[in-house]
Structure 1
Amino acid sequence: MDKSWIQLPRIDPHYAKGIKDFIEVAKAYVDDKNRTRCPCSKCKNIPHRTLPEVKGHLCQNGMDKMYTRWEWHGEGYDMANNNSSEEEVEEEEDGDEVNELLEDICMGPFVQIEMTDVQQGLDDALPNSNMGYDRFQDLLQDAQRELYPGCEKFSKLSFVLKLYNMKVTQKLSNKYFTMMLKLLNEAMPKGVELPKSHYEAKNMLRELSFGYEVIHACINDCILYLKEYENNELCPRWGESRYKSCEGKGKKIPQKILRYFPLKSRLQRLFMSRKISSDMRWHKEKRVKETNIFRHPADSMTWEEFDIRHPWFSAEPRNVRLGLASDGFNPFSNMSNSYSMWPVMVFPYNLPPWKCMKEPYLFMSLLIPGPRSPGKEIDVYLRPLIDELKELWVDGVMTYDASTMCTFRLHVALLWTINDFSAYGDLSGWVTKGYMACPVCNFDASSIRLEHGEKICWFCHRRWLPLDHKW
């Protein structure tokens, strides 16, 4: 069916005819209440509405211009096998990607590296610079060891990785995962090579840098017990104890814990898949440049200006440009409970637009604990991330590229932070309340306090308009 009418203005007669044709198609895909998904530009196939309501929405709001394949209204729908769903398709794609990643991780770095040279260059060639030679050998053996005698489809490492991927994507509990491992150990043939618990599986995968660091913090958000304060037991500012009071001889429990997910190893893992490694160069090699067309952050003036200022960085298209976002949320889904936890997310902009903001490529870097917002003290918690970003900018890190089967020095730059206005005040240090709340006007803000009340108003906004503007 011709769908060019979707791009036409709503007053065009061909657009009205297109709506009529669409309604005729949608009649075959209504539920028992005679409703179907509404594809207008506001609903975007989320709510179900009756056909007259859908027609009215399409006339008023227009068709969603991105909805060119009518998957919710019969196109590409297999009537012979209507049990398949988008979730199943995504699982199949995830499975293929896991297979490819396993192949690259297990075999890629060793194609061109002699085993006699591995011990010397291990820290540079492998994704986890803390991995010793013996542990590397164990991991390599797990990647090549049969799951059980005669098994040709899975190695020990590949099977455990697939199981763990299922655990994470399906949100299975640790206890359930341990029970499943015990059952698999009993059910599989003699000689099966599987961990016996979630703890053993987690320790095995930790060699692939799937862990995080636990950093103690002051209860008043003054310091992190890191570097020069690593051995302190009292806050140097207020004298608060590092640990909760405990009369017994048990393990000391810290007052507050920051969880830090190292960025270096996670960025290196992107290049250990041939497909993703190739996509990390998309912005330079495959992006179509058109004047006044903005499809990707690489089309922005900021990106271009950064390339001009730092030509050494832009000369290597695999160097990663990051965005950072943070905001508080209530983890208990209860708004009456005043608890605020702050995740700090980073995401690579090198990837094409249909990937760079997808869940697999969003990295949680910090998980700042509650129960209250860190406010302007958020810079205390950002210190580990900032230190690592400085190191990645200046020194970089040796990274293996599976698509070219060689190593290169990876550098990283943080281009943008994304947040709402209140979080902007915390991250930037600018006061977002009071007389000078506007970061654009800065000290030239035109603001006054109202006579009757405590509200502050801002005037003279029209000074930013061109002199010949009608306002």
Structure 2
Amino acid sequence: MDKSWMNEADRLLLPIYAEGVKNFLTQARRHACGRDRIRCPCHTCLNNLWLPTNEVESYLFIKGINLNYTEWIFHGEEETTLNVSDDDVGDDVLPEDDYIDDMQHMLDDIRSGTFVHVPEDNTTTPNRSPIPKDSPSTTFEKLLEDARRPLFEGCTEFTKLSFIVKLLHIKSIGGWSIKSFDMLLDLLRSSFPDVLLPQSYEESKSLERGLGFNYNKIHACPNDCILFWKENAALNECPVCKASRWIPNMHGSRIIPQKVLRHFSLKSRLQRLFMSTKIADPRNVRLRLASDGFTPFNNLAKPHSIWPVILVPYNLPPWSCMKDQFFITSLIIPGPRSPGNDIDVYLQPLVDELLGFWENGVPTYDASTKETFRLHAALLWTINDSPAYGNLSGWSTKGKLACPTYHMWRRRKWLFNGKEDHHMPPRDIGGYDILTQLQMIEDVMFGKCRRKRKCTAEELNWTKSSIFFTLPYWSTLRL
């Protein structure tokens, strides 16, 4: 079938593109054998989603077909097999140019962003220094070797790396326990002794650390007073409430932390986000923050709360930025109770990273131009429900001043006569006004053990000065 229509830029006007889409869908329906859904080959879905045929047709006109999808193997065409002679292939490692899957693209981005030379000064001048290919780390060498090694001799579908990554993905989606994952690995190794599989889940998880998907555990006061972090890292008890940092485990043989915060670094994720999406203006990344708590157990008799803190990059296209695969998990706050107004204690590592992104940026490699630059990022706003909005903003969402914008008709409904109101709208409260109000707040001590204090009339409905005001640009944002 003629596929020249795939490269046409004007998809909505040229009849050759419409005719090509029509022929493609005809073949796809024939291959679907009566099913009403087919794989969508557009730029966004990349054959990963099954959609109705009419929706696929719309996506092909709006987003365009993936230009790399030249063999329609998911829509009726047979895959072309490459004949490789035995002299060109080693015992168990494929040639560098004949990878089985596309894992090497991700590894190339990691290598480029990690080992390229970047100037230390805070400039945006690109540096075209060559990538030192002869000095990769041991971890990256292992990843690259696993990405080239077939799962077993003669396997053309999976490499060792891609198969383990898919297993970890299924474990995450299916909610498998670590024990069940280890049992599956034991069964696969016993059934297929020639297959190159890890010995345990811990060995598989070491791949995540090599790919930059690791996180840091930060111990916290059980009463949410402080984090045992930075200057408090060496303390064994909270200096505010004197609560112990440790508790003995069920066997009494060792001690474990009472409360642990999980912090996911933004650096590698934002770097990889740029390299995978080819953002047109990469010097600034715009982010929004969303957070809310949920109970992981259906049984309310076992109270437990988990608060994930999610960042969403707005540099992506509108149809991609709200997809969960592009969300950035920055914090996970677990505990028997929600952090409430003390959430600022747990936001310290994230705000510290955001300050670094704004002031200094991080060196990032542009895979499309082979240049390096300083990547900066800014947080634009937060999106929450009303209780979480009160916790993050510092403005209480309870009481008569719960709504920051107040109108007299809310309490004096009899003044409304059904006619148009030609009075001037209420004055917008700017960042300077808010900073003036926050100066009236006394020092707020965090922690569940502290006694609640009554707000004075000068403090209005403020309960604290939000930690986001430590960002130098926060008071200038309209929202």
TM over 0.5: yes
Deviation of the 1:258 alpha carbon: 1.1
The Cα offsets for residues 96-149 of structure 1, whole Å up to 9 and x where unpaired, read as 99x976231233566x89xxx949779999xxxxx9822233223323334334
Aligned to 2:314, which of 349, 355, 359? 349
1:359–1:468 Cα change, 3 Å:
closer
Aligned to 2:223, which of 205, 220, 223? 220
Aligned to 1:261, which of 245, 259, 264? 264
Aligned Cα RMSD in Å?
4.1
Q: What number of residue pairs does the alignment pair up?
A: 334
Between 226-235 and 325-334, report the one with greater CA deviation. Answer: 325-334
Deviation of the 1:80 alpha carbon: 2.3
Between 372-381 and 425-434, report the one with greater CA deviation. Answer: 425-434
Residues 1:207 and 2:210 aligned together = yes
Letter in 1 for 2:367: A
Provide the C-alpha distance between the structure 2 equivalents of 1:109 and 1:263, rounded to a whole number of angstroms.
Answer: 15
1:146–1:229 Cα change, 3 Å:
same
Residues 1:423 and 2:382 aligned together = no
Provide the C-alpha distance between the structure 1 equivalents of 2:136 and 2:363, rounded to a whole number of angstroms.
Answer: 16
Provide the C-alpha distance between the structure 1 equivalents of 2:235 and 2:101, rounded to a whole number of angstroms.
Answer: 46
1:355 partner SS = helix
Letter in 2 for 1:185: R
Contact 1:235 / 1:241 at 8 angstroms: preserved in 2?
A: yes
Deviation of the 1:396 alpha carbon: 1.2
Aligned to 2:177, which of 156, 173, 177? 173
Query: 1:372 matched to which residue of 2?
Result: 337
Provide the C-alpha distance between the structure 2 equivalents of 1:433 and 1:466, rounded to a whole number of angstroms.
Answer: 31
Query: 2:33 matched to which residue of 1?
Result: 80
Between 140-149 and 250-259, report the one with greater CA deviation. Answer: 140-149
Provide the C-alpha distance between the structure 1 equivalents of 2:253 and 2:359, rounded to a whole number of angstroms.
Answer: 43
1:91–1:435 Cα change, 3 Å:
same
1:412 partner SS = strand
1:176 partner SS = helix
Query: Residues 164-313 of structure 1: matches in 2 within 5 Å?
Result: 164-188=168-192, 190=194, 192-245=195-248, 250-273=253-276, 277-278=277-278, 280-281=279-280
Letter in 1 for 2:181: F
The Cα offsets for residues 387-425 of structure 1, whole Å up to 9 and x where unpaired, read as 011111111112233333443321111001001122111
Deviation of the 1:430 alpha carbon: 1.2
Letter in 1 for 2:107: C
Deviation of the 1:195 alpha carbon: 1.0
Query: 1:386 matched to which residue of 2?
Result: 351
Deviation of the 1:211 alpha carbon: 2.0
Letter in 2 for 1:156: K
Query: Residues 46-61 of structure 1: matches in 2 within 5 Å?
Result: none
Instruction: Give ranges in structure 2 of 5+ residues lacking alignment.
Output: 1-27, 51-67, 70-99, 121-126, 130-134, 426-479
Residues 1:329 and 2:294 aligned together = yes
Structure with more helix by fraction: 1
Aligned to 1:399, which of 364, 369, 375? 364
Provide the C-alpha distance between the structure 2 equivalents of 1:138 and 1:241, rounded to a whole number of angstroms.
Answer: 41
1:387–1:194 Cα change, 3 Å:
same
Provide the C-alpha distance between the structure 1 equivalents of 2:282 and 2:191, rounded to a whole number of angstroms.
Answer: 49
Query: 1:409 matched to which residue of 2?
Result: 374
Contact 1:119 / 1:133 at 8 angstroms: preserved in 2?
A: no
Provide the C-alpha distance between the structure 2 equivalents of 1:245 and 1:365, rounded to a whole number of angstroms.
Answer: 29
1:228–1:176 Cα change, 3 Å:
same
Query: 2:48 matched to which residue of 1?
Result: 93
1:404 partner SS = coil
Letter in 1 for 2:351: I
Letter in 1 for 2:266: L
Provide the C-alpha distance between the structure 1 equivalents of 2:339 and 2:325, rounded to a whole number of angstroms.
Answer: 27
The Cα offsets for residues 135-187 of structure 1, whole Å up to 9 and x where unpaired, read as 23322332333433454553322222233223323433333332332333344
The Cα offsets for residues 188-218 of structure 1, whole Å up to 9 and x where unpaired, read as 464x432122111101221112222111110
Letter in 2 for 1:375: G
Instruction: Give ranges in structure 1 of 5+ residues lacking alignment.
Output: 1-74, 126-130, 282-315, 448-456
Q: Percent identity?
A: 46
Residues 1:102 and 2:99 aligned together = no
Deviation of the 1:250 alpha carbon: 2.4
Between 366-375 and 337-346, report the one with greater CA deviation. Answer: 337-346
Between 134-143 and 320-329, report the one with greater CA deviation. Answer: 134-143
1:330 partner SS = coil
Query: 1:47 matched to which residue of 2?
Result: none
Provide the C-alpha distance between the structure 2 equivalents of 1:207 and 1:347, rounded to a whole number of angstroms.
Answer: 24
Contact 2:275 / 2:367 at 8 angstroms: preserved in 1?
A: yes
1:87–1:239 Cα change, 3 Å:
farther
Provide the C-alpha distance between the structure 1 equivalents of 2:188 and 2:119, rounded to a whole number of angstroms.
Answer: 34
Query: 1:340 matched to which residue of 2?
Result: 305
1:354 partner SS = helix
1:271 partner SS = helix
Provide the C-alpha distance between the structure 2 equivalents of 1:466 and 1:426, rounded to a whole number of angstroms.
Answer: 36
Provide the C-alpha distance between the structure 2 equivalents of 1:239 and 1:437, rounded to a whole number of angstroms.
Answer: 34
Between 159-168 and 416-425, report the one with greater CA deviation. Answer: 159-168
Provide the C-alpha distance between the structure 1 equivalents of 2:300 and 2:40, rounded to a whole number of angstroms.
Answer: 31
